[in-house]
Amino acid sequence: MASHVLSRLGALAGVLSVVVTFVGFGVHGGLPSDTTPGAIRAYVGAVTPGQAGLGNFLELLGYVLFLVFAAFLYALARATTADRLDWLPVLGFVAATAYVAVSATLIGTQLAIVDWAKAGGDPRSVAGMYALDSAAFPLSFELAAVFLAATGAALLRAGRWRLLAAASCAVGAIVLISGLIGSMSQTNNLAQVGFLIFVVWQLATGVYFLARPPTV
């Protein structure tokens, strides 16, 4: 398969990742911002097991597609710095893999919350699971920030796509700060803002390389 075709497929994975993830959100519905048993009970009562299963499956598929996109960026950075002992692309891809692994665990927990609550599980235990899921979300931003910063720094060292690389580093800093604030205050919505900025960067980068596949 030609290299420009593979490049477009990698970039397309980044775009599809955003679309599929948000479709998944739409299917299983927005999770409550309040971690009280009453709020969780209201959410569980409004979603069917089929909705929860399909929505979380699609959400995880979106993260898997993100991993494909991260592999594309890793290969791109490595190809442009092949004559250097550069560990930055490796760090970026390892961080992306860890981020997806943590996200997969959280998505599985979301599905377990619905199934357990509908099966008559103890409300306090279900609330505890949801509190754990909510607390881990902003903490996972540390991994996302490392991916963004390492990938951006690797591309900057390559001397190409400087604007995209600088944006990656800047978004990494924003994601890290929003994750810190979200971890300190679970009621603060800044973590959601950081996640959306991350998604916009991913979408813009995917579209750019889809329209202009890199040649190295």
C-alpha R_g of the chain: 18
pLDDT given for residue 82 in this prediction = 64
Residue 95 reports pLDDT greater than 60: yes
Tokens 């357990």 identify what position? Answer: 116
Which range of 16-30, 37-51, 62-76, 153-167 scores highest in mean pLDDT? It is 62-76
Return the structure tokens found at 77. 């950075």
Extended beta strands in the chain, E state: none
CA distance 76 to 64: 19
Angle (deg, nearest 10), helices 190-211 and 49-80: 60
- Total residues found in the chain within this entry: 216
Q: 51 and 118 in contact (C-beta within 8 Å)? A: no
Query: 128-168 pLDDT, tens per residue?
Result: 888 888 888 899 999 999 999 999 999 888 777 889 999 99
pLDDT given for residue 43 in this prediction = 77
pLDDT confidence of 198, banded at 50, 70, 90? Answer: very high
Q: 138 and 190 in contact (C-beta within 8 Å)? A: no
The single-letter DSSP state of residue 216 is -
Query: 61-83 pLDDT, tens per residue?
Result: 999 999 999 999 999 988 877 66
pTM, rounded to two decimals:
0.90
CA distance 213 to 3: 9
